[in-house]
Amino acid sequence: EVPVPGKFSTRYDLEKETELRFEVESGEAVEQIELELLTGMAEVFGSELNRNKKYTFGAGAKIAVFTWQGCSVNLYGKPEVAYVSKDTPMLLYLNTHAALEQMRRQAERDNERGPRVMVVGPTDVGKSTVCRLLLSYAVRVGRRPTLVELDVGQSGVSVPGTVSALCIERPADVEEGFSVQAPLVYHFGSTTPGTNIKLYNKLTSCLAEVYSQRCEVNRKASVGGCIINTCGWVKGSGYQALVHCASAFEVDVVLVLDHERLYNELKRDLPHFVRVVLLPKSGGVVERSKECRRDTRDEKIREYFYGFRGVTFYPFSYEVRFSDVRIYKIGAPSIPDSCLPLGMSQDDTQLKLVPVTPGRDLTYHVLSVSSAEDGEEGARKGIVESPVCGFIVVTNVDTQTQVMKVLSPAPRPLPRHTLLIMDIRFMDSK
Ligand code: ATP
């Protein structure tokens, strides 16, 4: 055992079926923590650790190192918290995976489709972690499942304010999570489904349709099934959105984390052939404050432009003339039914494209670059249902010269000229 110079290290000997949980302090300029597996076998959220390799975790990381057989590990540096727990629901999660795998085998035999699974529950119950675990276990046995990310607040796939789908081809990287290559992303525009529930449901349906089309032509994707991560909003319209998602994707299994009432409601409201399963949350899941969530969102946008860990991106900054782009907001402010023009419903207003006149207040807003073909009026149709090809941030607006400056991952020119404005802002401190 060679100690890292100047770093405090602690050895943990873990018995089988226990986990070491640790948290790295959040904030800037904090000491990173390194993890090394010394003997035995262990995994972090479903991804196996290599022996004698140092894994680094930065500010705010909350990690569990679980072992099925027993192992010993070293932590280098001083984590904010570190303790061993014998009380984990991992066996139940593994059994869930085994049941899903059984369904995939049967699908293969009978030429049917594999399980479509929706993971639901309030905030901070570990939904994203359970999704990651089930997806990693599935790829480890050779499957090609799809992750459907409907959590517009804390997306694991793209920037906040989007919904997306990603084919999973290898287990999540221990330090970085799933490799995000060529995801299918749609613009939602804000961090909570409640700001435009009609749009949210519409995008859920779009993703379901594209996924089903892919399943028709790709047998592996069909057998692999999908794991759908949802928002923590489980009441009122949030609940209705879950029911809508279950029907749009024709889900076979719903995993309810730690919420008995939600479990009972879904059992009551979903068709009887949908298996609704109540699972406990892990005691290790850490509650995150509003600030913490905001920081994570900010970080996600920063990563999009500047890269992550070993990979550094160099974004471009250039000027765009107002006359060269069309900026829209999806959804007009709702007006009383009695004031709506004849023959129009609230649905129409929520999905309507409202042209945005560029002004100073555009500064710092994140804009999605729609993949919809450029064109006049006619092309406006379909913009809502078109995937996004990237994002830019407005860094400055000059109303005099009718020009705005943008931060962009690619050099000029913009690939398309239809831009959709998000409520989300990003202040570039670099
Ligand atoms: P949201 O409210 O955003 O939907 P969620 O329910 O998806 O949250 P997760 O993101 O899965 O929750 O988990 C919250 C945090 O807890 C994450 O930082 C995750 O790394 C951490 N975590 C999950 N399980 C454990 C565990 N067993 N031990 C330690 N930390 C954990």
186 neighbors 208 (Cβ within 8 angstroms): no
Q: CB pairs under 8 A, 24+ apart, for 58-61?
A: 58/24, 58/30, 58/32, 59/24, 59/25, 59/26, 59/27, 59/28, 59/30, 59/32, 60/23, 60/24, 60/25, 60/26, 60/292, 60/295, 60/296, 61/23, 61/24, 61/33
354 neighbors 327 (Cβ within 8 angstroms): no
- Determine the atom of ligand 1 nearest the C-alpha atom of 88: 27
Output the pLDDT for position 5. Answer: 57
Q: How far is the CA of 55 from the centre of ligand 1 (A)?
A: 19
d(CA 143, CA 329): 39
Q: How far is the CA of 139 from the centre of ligand 1 (A)?
A: 21
Output the pLDDT for position 193. Answer: 94
Ligand 1 binding residues, C-beta < 6 A: 21, 62, 64, 123-129, 151, 154, 232, 282, 284-286
> Whose C-alpha lies nearest to ligand 1, atom 10?
128
- Determine the atom of ligand 1 nearest the C-alpha atom of 283: 27
Residues contacting 219, CB < 8 A, separation 6+ = none
Q: Count of CB atoms within 10 A of residue 260's CB?
A: 9
- Determine the atom of ligand 1 nearest the C-alpha atom of 129: 11
Residue-wise burial string across 91-102, b where 16 or more C-beta atoms lie within 10 A, e elsewhere: eebeebbeebbe
What's the pTM value of the predicted model, to 2 decimals?
0.93
Instruction: Report which DSSP code applies to 195.
Output: G
- If one residue of 67, 262, 285, 291 were mutated to test the ligand 1 pocket, choosing by the most ligand atoms within 8 A of its CB, it would be 285
Q: How far is the CA of 14 from the centre of ligand 1 (A)?
A: 21
Residues contacting 325, CB < 8 A, separation 6+ = 414, 417, 418, 419
Residues contacting 319, CB < 8 A, separation 6+ = 403, 404, 405, 406
ipTM comes to 0.96
- If one residue of 35, 65, 85, 129 were mutated to test the ligand 1 pocket, choosing by the most ligand atoms within 8 A of its CB, it would be 129
Q: Tokens 């869930």 — which residue?
A: 96
> Whose C-alpha lies nearest to ligand 1, atom 23?
285
Residuewise pLDDT in 10s, the chain (430 residues)? 555 556 789 999 999 999 999 999 887 778 899 999 999 999 999 999 999 999 999 888 999 999 999 999 999 999 999 999 999 999 999 999 999 999 999 999 999 999 999 999 999 999 999 999 999 999 999 999 999 999 999 998 999 999 999 999 999 999 989 988 889 999 999 999 999 999 999 999 999 999 999 999 999 999 999 999 999 999 999 999 999 999 999 999 999 999 999 999 999 999 999 999 999 999 999 888 888 889 889 999 999 999 887 788 999 999 999 999 999 999 987 666 677 667 766 667 889 899 999 999 999 999 999 999 876 554 566 899 999 999 999 999 999 999 999 999 999 999 999 999 999 999 977 5
Output the pLDDT for position 402. Answer: 96
> Whose C-alpha lies nearest to ligand 1, atom 20?
62
Q: How far is the CA of 128 from the centre of ligand 1 (A)?
A: 7
- Determine the atom of ligand 1 nearest the C-alpha atom of 130: 11
257 neighbors 279 (Cβ within 8 angstroms): yes
Q: If you write DSSP's letter for every residue of 53-75 in order, what string do you get?
A: -EEEE-TT-EEEEEESS-EEEEE
- SS3 of residue 121 by DSSP: coil
Cα-trace Rg, the chain: 23
Q: Count of CB atoms within 10 A of residue 35's CB?
A: 26
> Whose C-alpha lies nearest to ligand 1, atom 4?
123
* Cross-strand pairs, 18: 67
> Whose C-alpha lies nearest to ligand 1, atom 26?
284
Output the pLDDT for position 311. Answer: 82
- The type of residue at 342 is L
- If one residue of 62, 75, 118, 228 were mutated to test the ligand 1 pocket, choosing by the most ligand atoms within 8 A of its CB, it would be 62
